[in-house]
Amino acid sequence: MSEPSPTSTMVNGRIYSLDIVQQPVRARMCGFGDKDRRPITPPPCIRLVVKDASTNKELDINDIDTSYFVLTVDLWSADAQKEVNLVRHSATSPSISAATSSAYPPPVDDTSAYASNTLQQVSMPSSYSQPPPPPPASAYQQTSSQYHQHQYSQQGQTSQPPPPPPPPPPGQQQQGYYSTPTGTPVTPTYQSQLQQNQGPLLSPSQLSAPSCDPRSQASGMFTRNLIGSLCVSAFKLTNPNNEMGVWFILQDLSVRTEGSFRLKMNFVNVGSPTTAQTLNTASAPVLASCFSDKFDVYSAKKFPGVIESTNLSKCFATQGIKIPIRKDGVRGNERRPGEGEDDE
């Protein structure tokens, strides 16, 4: 597989390009919470190269106004073929966003109760020729069944249908859905249909939970897979060789899920094309872009540890950039007594 090639643009006699001097190597997945951050190590450091189109030589750093220089970053697949900024978060995953409300009532399975009560009714003698009614599934139906049997015992053989049962006591109806003659909860949408068609009682096979649960269609919600500072400003910094340059530092990037990825960087000048000191409120073109090398994100058990702080990171940290620097003498997963898991 060929490596993705960077892109550059010439604007007003200047050619802009990006050079990733410090590549990302690995990170520990941070999961779907919002508090546990696991930065990519080492922090990617990108240098902006500005050349004169006529001479193809780099311009003096003092001749470049970086006030409105911005770098944005996206998460891409390892083969650099598709953007993977979003990830589907399952509602069953343990995180703060897993506690989502559902519009569907929980399924009720009263098949076993129906079958046990049916056996009891068949063994009981009957004083009339009518077959015994199906067993009740609620206190309301138990009352109506006893009411029917009492009326038949007083009237004997009669051709008139029994009077309707008394209405259910208050509080029997649950909020949001109703109870059918078999005790199966239904949504208010189907209430009128049940009132119009009161056919024979359902069999035990029909009382079982439906094979297609509507909640299974909503298997999760989308959230960002790459989190942190996804847009950074430019800094004029010196490298360990004391050479001044225009740099973008991505020290606050975390990935929620494990896997292999790449970062795509896009450079934009959000200043006004006519007046350099004015913010451009319209759209701005991407002047340069590039992909990072492939890096791996591990689960907590497989993570081999953060990368040792590089000389470039230490150099930028001394110039005011907030880069986590590991203390000397701590390697891999080693810890001093009383220190956290990641000594940063």
Cβ pair 121, 146 in contact under 8 A? no
pLDDT greater than 70 at residue 185: no
Mean pLDDT of 60-75: 95
Q: Tell me the C-alpha distance between 250 and 47, whole Å.
A: 11
Q: What are phi and psi of 61, to 5 degrees?
A: -60, -25
> Does a structural domain hold residue 207?
no
Residue 43: how many other CB atoms lie within 10 Å? 23
Residue 335: how many other CB atoms lie within 10 Å? 12
> Does a structural domain hold residue 54?
yes
> Does a structural domain hold residue 63?
yes
Write out the residue range of the structural domain in which residue 230 sits. Answer: 7-90+226-317
Which residues, other chains included, contact 277 with Cβ-Cβ below 8 Å and sequence gap of 6+? Answer: 67, 271
Q: What is the pTM of this model?
A: 0.60
> Does a structural domain hold residue 16?
yes
pLDDT greater than 60 at residue 324: yes
Cβ pair 304, 298 in contact under 8 A? yes
Q: How confident is the model at residue 320 (pLDDT cuts 50, 70, 90)?
A: very high
Bridge partners (DSSP) of residue 226 are 255
Give burial (CB, 10 Å; 0-12/13-18/19+) of 265. buried
pLDDT greater than 90 at residue 208: no
- DSSP alpha helix (H) spans, the chain: 111-123, 139-155, 191-196, 204-207, 311-317
Cβ pair 221, 97 in contact under 8 A? yes
Q: What is the CATH number of the domain that holds 275?
A: 2.60.40.3960
Q: Tell me the C-alpha distance between 56 and 233, whole Å.
A: 25
Cβ pair 89, 223 in contact under 8 A? yes
The mean predicted confidence, pLDDT, of the chain is: 73
Count: domains in the chain? 1
> Does a structural domain hold residue 336?
no
pLDDT digits (tens, 9 = 90+) for 272-290: 766 666 787 778 899 999 9
Bridge partners (DSSP) of residue 134 are none
> Does a structural domain hold residue 267?
yes
> Does a structural domain hold residue 165?
no
> Does a structural domain hold residue 221?
no
Tokens 């007003």: give the residue: 12
Helix (H, G, I), strand (E, B) or coil at 150: helix
Q: Closest by alpha carbon to 172, among 133, 137, 206, 202? A: 137
